[in-house]
Chains A and B, each alone.
Chain A
Amino acid sequence: MGRVVSDLGVIAVLGDPVRRRLYDYVTAQDHEVSRGEAAAATGIQRPLAAFHLDRLAEAGLVEVTFRRTTGRSGPGAGRPAKLYRRAAGEHQVSVPPRDYRGAAELLAGVVDMIGGEQELQRAARSRGAAAGRSALRNAAETEQGSRPAGARDAEAGDRDRLTGALAEQGYQPYPDGPEIRLRNCPFHALADRYPPLICGMNLALLEGLIEGAAVTGMAARLDPRPDECCVVMTSSKNNEH
């Protein structure tokens, strides 16, 4: 299980709390991050940020690009800035060794072969609804005792609850105007291999999540963008603002 050991080495690089904060910041951004920006965002000195960012890059957890940020080129334009962004690779560690991904690929292949998409979507929807109900209960517990919410607050509360539930499931949600988009696809490798099957499953999961979390006025639909999840949450009301 050499693979597991090397992934463990990669993940151990995140054991340092400063490095972990930098990793979390860089991977949550939609742009390449400079050393200065990362330092400011995590509240540490620039040389320290540079040191840890380069450790992350050596481990392959972030990727490095060089770009002149001044727009000038040629002699006198200065050195290009070193920029960091999330790496495409994924790492999984299971101790003792487990191979759920291998099993998932086999099962997906069989569902695809026997044409069981609609059954998969039904199962995904009820799984999503269960996760949504649990998010709703958690939100109710933390909100107890707070003042009754107005209509506007209720809408904001719905969005917050949905965002929290999405983050809990590993989607890395971020607001994009009235929409909530998802920076991470939790099923990436499988979705790459069986796109309609896995994206259909994912959509059903998220429809279930919205329903279970009693989020009104939001709906999930397929709208793939490069390097993001294939699903987006949009307002289901028609531009009432």
Chain B
Amino acid sequence: MTHWPGGWSDGRVTGYQLAQLNVGRPRGPVESAVMAGFMSRIEPVNALADAAPGFVWRLQDGDGPGAVWESLDALRDFVYRNGPHLDFMRRRREWFHRMAEQHLVLWWVPAGHRPDLDEALHRLDLLRRQGPGPLAFTFREPFGPLAAESRSRAAASLR
């Protein structure tokens, strides 16, 4: 169970789904020996994600894996409580450089919305500039979605 500012007391919000983007700086090109372990695991692990409870959709484009999940708890359960994925996380330094900046961003989208890479990178940028908040946050500091009246103001501030 997750407690976060705003009084949301579980990882599911009616009418919303949770979007996620992860970026990484690989230690070598995809065909290099250093990345072989990663490349051999990425497809099976993605297949596990696709079959995991609460998985909605995967962003197929670009730099890093992005996806939409039913709820924060569903995503967290997969990321941290799925054996093969947790093992993948444990070994990530073998394949990716440490990043000084935030490399994972979470944000709420209206149910059914499919974010593109632009939107995802925007949220990552927002997290990096302003820290965790209702528009862009992390597992360690989650937020509930903004109330409707503040949403349009926030959308304006995003531009």
Using a CB–CB cutoff of 8 Å, the interface residues on chain A facing chain B are: 114-115, 117-118, 121, 193, 195-196, 199-200, 203, 221-224, 226, 230
Contacts and interface: CB of A to CB of B under 8 A. Distances in A.
15 contacts: A115-B93, A117-B90, A118-B93, A118-B94, A193-B140, A195-B81, A195-B86, A196-B80, A196-B90, A200-B89, A221-B87, A222-B87, A222-B90, A224-B82, A224-B83
B98 interface: yes
Contact of B93 (A117, A195, A203): A117
Interface of B: 79-83, 86-87, 89-94, 97-98, 140
Given A118-B93, A224-B86, A195 B80 contact: yes
Contact of B98 (A114, A121, A226): A114
A223 B83 contact: yes
B124 to A, nearest CB: 18
B34 to A, nearest CB: 13
Nearest to B92: A196
Nearest to B80: A195
A195 B89 contact: yes
A221 B97 CA distance: 24
Nearest to A193: B140
A122 B80 CA distance: 21
A51 to B, nearest CB: 32
A115 B98 contact: yes
Contacts of B79: 195
